[in-house]
Amino acid sequence: MRIRSRSDFATLIALPLALCFCSTVASMERRAIADTAAAEQSPLDSALLHRRYEQRDLARIDRLRMHADAGRDADALTALLVEAQKGSVEAQRSVGEVLVRRADVVAVQQGLNWLERAAAQGDQRAMLALGKAWLFGVPSVAPDHIKARGWFERVDPQNAQAAYYLGLIERANNGGSMNHASAMKRFQFAAERGIPDAMYLLGNGYAQGEGVDHDPREAMRWYMRAAYLDHPQAIQELAYAFARGDTLLPQSDLQAANMRAAIAHALRHPKTAP
């Protein structure tokens, strides 16, 4: 197996990062609901018709959630509550997500209740929302890592987000012994499925020999993958490496400056949490 030189690693990282950070941000447009007016002239498959109605309902619920959350639109929240009371799991989850972010104690508790109702119907996103609410805490409710773990463990074992958050819990020392090895396995699972935060923490594990063997080469590989996805701390690690000229990367003030510019770009366009 050919061992890559330091200059090889510099070339590997410079090109993809340059393409990533210098390209314009692609505009994201919501997928338009197909117009069924023309189709009404010919027979429609009942399953197809049902899917179209379902898509329109989901799109409407998502719009109501955005208005009720960021816009604090009381009418939108009322409309969501109507759908939630009818049994719509998407509406129940949406109401829960909106209310748990309110400062009002009663609203927060109602939000948790609605999330639990959605989770009782098997909604994975509601389970994740409950896990995060208990992991980080919400207004008027203190974090509870035992409850958080319980919700994350109910999520599909193949879910990368749940694996990442379980890794955070296992890495922390909250009423029990730290289990870095188990945490790193969780981060590895999540990192391999595209979670940038997990990539960065896995890189830290290899860099420090925490829960895995000390391996600077593997650490740099995960930092590079996270940096390609605009992870600010991972880009900073690369900037440090170029400035020092160690950890498989040649010393380069120019590349270090490029990485610092990339950090500023990443901070101006923050990614949402997993």
> Angle, to 10 degrees, between the axis of helix 89-99 and the axis of helix 46-69?
10
Task: Identify whether residues 266 and 161 lie together within a single domain.
Answer: yes
Task: Identify whether residues 112 and 177 lie together within a single domain.
Answer: no
* Alpha-carbon torsion (183, 187, 190, 193), positive or negative: negative
Structural domain that includes position 94: 48-124
Q: Which of 126, 124, 120, 123 is CA-nearest to residue 99?
A: 126
Amino acid in the structure at residue 244: R
182 falls within a domain: yes
Task: Identify whether residues 239 and 178 lie together within a single domain.
Answer: yes
Task: Identify whether residues 195 and 257 lie together within a single domain.
Answer: yes
- Confidence bin at 271 (pLDDT 50/70/90): confident
pLDDT digits (tens, 9 = 90+) for 129-182: 999 999 999 988 899 999 999 999 999 999 999 999 999 999 986 544 468 899
- Confidence bin at 5 (pLDDT 50/70/90): low
148 falls within a domain: no
CA distance 155 to 147: 13
Task: Identify whether residues 106 and 212 lie together within a single domain.
Answer: no
pLDDT digits (tens, 9 = 90+) for 19-38: 444 443 344 444 434 444 44
1 falls within a domain: no
Task: Identify whether residues 248 and 177 lie together within a single domain.
Answer: yes
Percent with pLDDT over 70 in the chain: 77
Task: Identify whether residues 211 and 114 lie together within a single domain.
Answer: no
pLDDT at residue number 103:
87
Select the more confidently predicted residue: 86 or 37: 86
Task: Identify whether residues 168 and 272 lie together within a single domain.
Answer: yes
Side-chain-side CA neighbours of 258 within 13 Å: the count stands at 20
DSSP the chain: -PPPPHHHHHHHHHHHHHHHHHSPPPP--PPPPPP-TGGGGS---HHHHHHHHHHHHHHHHHHHHHHHHTS--HHHHHHHHHHHHTT-HHHHHHHHHHHTTSS-HHHHHHHHHHHHHHHHTT-HHHHHHHHHHHHH-BTTB---HHHHHHHHHHS-TT-HHHHHHHHHHHHS-SSS---HHHHHHHHHHHHTTT-HHHHHHHHHHHHHTSSS---HHHHHHHHHHHHHTT-HHHHHHHHHHHHHT-TTS---HHHHHHHHHHHHHHHHSPPPP-
Task: Identify whether residues 117 and 169 lie together within a single domain.
Answer: no
pTM tops 0.85, yes or no: no
28 falls within a domain: no
10 falls within a domain: no
CA distance 142 to 108: 12
Task: Identify whether residues 62 and 174 lie together within a single domain.
Answer: no
32 falls within a domain: no
136 falls within a domain: no
Which CATH number does the domain housing residue 250 bear? 1.25.40.10
Task: Identify whether residues 118 and 218 lie together within a single domain.
Answer: no
Percent with pLDDT over 90 in the chain: 65
Q: Which of 52, 60, 96, 104 is CA-nearest to residue 79?
A: 60
Task: Identify whether residues 114 and 166 lie together within a single domain.
Answer: no
92 falls within a domain: yes
What's the mean pLDDT when you consider all of the chain? 83
What's the total number of domains in the chain? 2
Domain boundary among 124, 145, 178: 124
pLDDT at residue number 106:
94
